[in-house]
Chain A
Amino acid sequence: MTKSVIPEVLSPAGSLEKLKVAIKYGANAVYLAGQKFGLRAAADNFTYTELKEGVEFAHKHDAKVYVVLNSFLHDKDLEDIEEFISYLNEIKVDSLIVSDLGVIKSIQQYSNIPIHLSTQASCLNRYSGKLWKKMGVERLILGRECSLEDAKKIKQATGLEVEMFIHGSMCMAYSGNCVISNYTQGRDSNRGGCAHSCRFEYSIQFNEEEQRKHSFFMSSKDLNGLRVLEDYIKAGIDSVKIEGRMKSHLYAGTMSKVYREALDYYREHGNFLSEKLEQWSQELEKVSHRAYAPVNLKQKAGSDTIFNERLIVKDQYKVIGQLMDKVDGEFGLLHVRSAFLPGDTLEVIPFRGEAFEVKVDKILTLNNEEIEKSKPSTLVKIPYHPQMEIINLVRMRLQA
């Protein structure tokens, strides 16, 4: 029997801190951007030193770093690219994610860094894959419109590595084919300025006599591929990608952990026939999200993949913070993001295995003063637990 290839878990790293969180929680690779050339101008993104530090941290933990240069660049944007590519070459990033042929050619001129074709290029079929292979691309990040069956055939026909999104927000438009922000907000959506106009409410009228219908008709449900993870493996997908460089530490950590644990389980057992599948699924529910759908993975996305609401699904949990330090046997030092009270039970998410509870009878400041309520952007001491590790994320169940 041919042994299945287990795909890598590729997680978003919107900042150096999120990179560390994603890798500690199991990401095999992370994707991130420098201060320019990516598609998330509002994300923190990485300075030169942070990039170097991020690559060193990743390589030390056997993880890879892919740097996005997936904007559709104008001539003047390309003026600075040589220096940036040379630097990325020097610090040994593992690949560059690119959508623009001009950028591909520039990279090839200045370095030998492997090139992954961004989903932004909307590579959707085997002939498209063949063309990009001739352009020197080593991996295809397929358009989100592709099914797993499409992906399998593209991989077979091209022999290239194939990466597919498995989780997160979805563009409703073919990627690279939406310029609403350009014309309505003066921000180039294909150079990092997307204003997410597809998430707005619109009123629609089919004829002048008819009353307008209010709808979020352009908003897509979020992708969740956990239940069809086995199909990714059977299709030979090399990398499962989690969307969301703008999302929280909790998101980056939880997604990395769930998909890594699931794939590790498959590696060991050759199936997902486990009650853990339900547990992993529940973990995905604990992070802020829109309603989930498999979108295009098994069949063409239908009307049930439209998220016709403004708000995300009501959260079951809230992010409490992150463990910054600990004194063994004494306390864990929590950097608070959301308030909690004495008497609350917190859940600490370990890098591996199930979350464990910490009952907080009293909250102490660093001066050992007892306080009635923790405040965001403060450091507090919580009871020590032997499983606690620095960088662990902490959450709390919300009352029903």
Chain B
Amino acid sequence: MKSVISIDSIADLNHAIEAGVNEVIISTKEFSRLGKFPIADLDKAIELTQNAHTDIVFNWDILMTDDMFMQQSLEISKLDLKKFKAIRLQDPGALEYILETTNYSVQWIVETGNHNLIGLKSWVSYIGNKLDRLVLSIEIPKERLQVYLQELSCDTELLVLGRILLFYTPRNLLTPLYHDHDDKKMQPIHSDFLMASGNSEESPHKGFPIVENRHGTYMFHIKDHYLMENLPELREMKLNYARIDLSELSLLGQVASMIKDGVADKSFKDIYPKDVIRGFYSVNKTDILFKKLKNHRIQRQDKNYRGKVLESLKESHLAIQVQQGKINCGDQLKFISPEGKMKELEIKNLRNIAGKDIESLEEGEIGLIKYHSGIIPMTVIYQNE
């Protein structure tokens, strides 16, 4: 298993080479969402990595509206990126542009969405022999990851240590809080990153790192993603590349070494400077709570459905609306209230809204039946089998 890290400067690059990292991602401030690497230092970076036999990748991972895309693609076309192993992309437009106008290899970031094999295989097929790698989502649980790593015919990468990006917007959300300004007169200029910590006042979550730069605003998880103890099984699954995203590089040598050997050193967590989580690596149950989001008792079931109760007037009547089929005098109906109470009744009398006795109610019509306690508005009505 090989190690990958995004670097911000020549000093970081030297550090990465010294630490034995296999591949560096050059994230420039112009083309990368969180990059700081000066574009003027690209040649120097190429030279250093060539000498060290370290792979070098160019990062163009921002998402771009059309006007911005046309500017960016023009600038990209002026760069000679042939000496980079690949170009790293997330915007489908950037992918299409690179495939159509260059011979560069592509590292395709499928970290958002792309949680099924059919889709992943379709990307592999579409990009064809220009695909260097798929960068997979950390929301994929290991049981599925194992399948993907067997089934996909390309190299794969996963974040094993570092920040979890929760939110990405092109809007500048921190600037208005940082100083008063009128952005009609002044476009904020981000010579450096604006950084802050955010506490949710409505949930127990405190200390979200928030970053704003020229490309937008980003919020990260309070804890870092940490699969360092799962390196042996990731190696066994044949993950090709393990990505590291460290805010501070003093531990880089140790991390790169653990990745290379595929070993789990449990004591490493003790010296890691941030709280960590494994996210959805063990299991992803983020759809389990959905069934609690609505009251299924008042939700219509198709079979034998007849309608619902609109009004319950004590000691007088129930007003019902037929929504499917027909209700006749003599029908046996089942009523299920929003609280889950069930009553079975025979319809002995029916009246229309003008108060006249009728024999049946057609679809869409409203009628009155005798009041029964416990049956309230929103109660759903079924024909009894």
Contacts and interface: CB of A to CB of B under 8 A. Distances in A.
Interface stretch (B10-18, B176-184, B234-242): B176-184
A178 B71 CA distance: 26
Interface in A260-307: 296, 300-306
Interface string B273-294: 0000001100011111110011
Given A127-B69, A366-B311, A177 B178 contact: no
A112 interface: no
Nearest to A17: B323
B290 A47 contact: no
Contact of B91 (A106, A124, A182, A296): A124
A179 B172 contact: no
B288 to A, nearest CB: 8
A186 B277 CA distance: 14
A228 interface: no
Contact of A327 (B114, B194, B288, B354): B354
Contacts of B294: 41-44
Given A204-B177, A365-B313, A379 B96 contact: no
Contacts of A305: 171
Interface in B122-178: 122-123, 126, 139, 144, 147, 164-178
B77 to A, nearest CB: 13
Contact of B302 (A42, A47, A72, A131): A47
Interface stretch (B78-86, B195-203, B254-262): B195-203
Contacts of B126: 134-135
Contacts of A177: 63, 112, 167-169
B253 interface: no
Given A78-B116, A193-B287, A49 B177 contact: no
A159 interface: no
Given A186-B285, A200-B203, A303-B172, A367 B316 contact: yes
A212 interface: yes
B166 A123 contact: no
Contact of B93 (A131, A197, A365): A131
B190 to A, nearest CB: 14
Nearest to B91: A128
Bin the interface of chain B by size. Answer: 35 or more
Contacts of B208: 202
Contact of A122 (B63, B144, B195): B63
Contact of A217 (B73, B177, B355): B177
Contact of B286 (A106, A129, A186, A205): A186
B123 A101 contact: yes
Contact of B311 (A121, A153, A302, A379): A379
A324 B323 CA distance: 12
B90 to A, nearest CB: 9
B93 A124 contact: yes
A206 B92 CA distance: 34
A178 B198 contact: no
A201 B177 CA distance: 14
Interface in B15-58: none
B321 interface: yes
A127 B64 CA distance: 10
Interface string A163-182: 00000000011101111101
A73 B116 contact: yes
B333 to A, nearest CB: 18
A395 B293 CA distance: 28
A17 to B, nearest CB: 9
B264 interface: no
Given A72-B114, A128-B91, A197 B168 contact: no
Interface in A350-368: 365-368
Interface in B69-126: 69-70, 73, 91-97, 100, 112-120, 122-123, 126
Given A183-B279, A200-B203, A202-B200, A193 B210 contact: no
B297 interface: no
Interface in B286-338: 286-290, 293-294, 299-302, 305, 310-311, 313, 316-317, 319, 321, 324
Given A180-B219, A190-B113, A203-B198, A377 B378 contact: yes
A368 B313 CA distance: 13
A137 to B, nearest CB: 11
Given A73-B115, A335-B310, A101 B122 contact: yes
Contacts of A178: 166-168
Contacts of B221: 183
A214 B201 CA distance: 9
A203 B206 CA distance: 9
A174 B68 CA distance: 15
A105 B118 contact: yes
A397 interface: no
A191 B313 contact: no
Given A49-B302, A73-B115, A186-B286, A145 B65 contact: yes
A154 interface: yes
Nearest to B377: A377
B345 interface: no
B197 A124 contact: no
B341 interface: no
B286 A191 contact: yes
A101 B97 CA distance: 19
Contacts of A146: 65-66
For the complex of A and B, the 10 pairs showing the least CB-CB separation, nearest first, are A102-B119, A128-B93, A72-B113, A188-B286, A127-B93, A125-B69, A377-B377, A150-B66, A102-B118, A42-B293
25 contacts: A43-B294, A47-B302, A53-B324, A74-B115, A75-B147, A100-B114, A101-B123, A121-B92, A126-B66, A127-B92, A134-B126, A145-B65, A172-B173, A173-B169, A186-B289, A187-B287, A187-B289, A188-B286, A218-B169, A303-B172, A304-B184, A306-B176, A324-B366, A325-B365, A367-B313
Interface of A: 41-44, 47-50, 53, 72-75, 77-78, 99-106, 120-132, 134-135, 143, 145-147, 149-150, 153-154, 172-174, 176-180, 182-188, 190-193, 197-198, 200-206, 212-215, 217-218, 220, 296, 300-306, 324-325, 327, 330, 333, 335, 365-368, 377-379
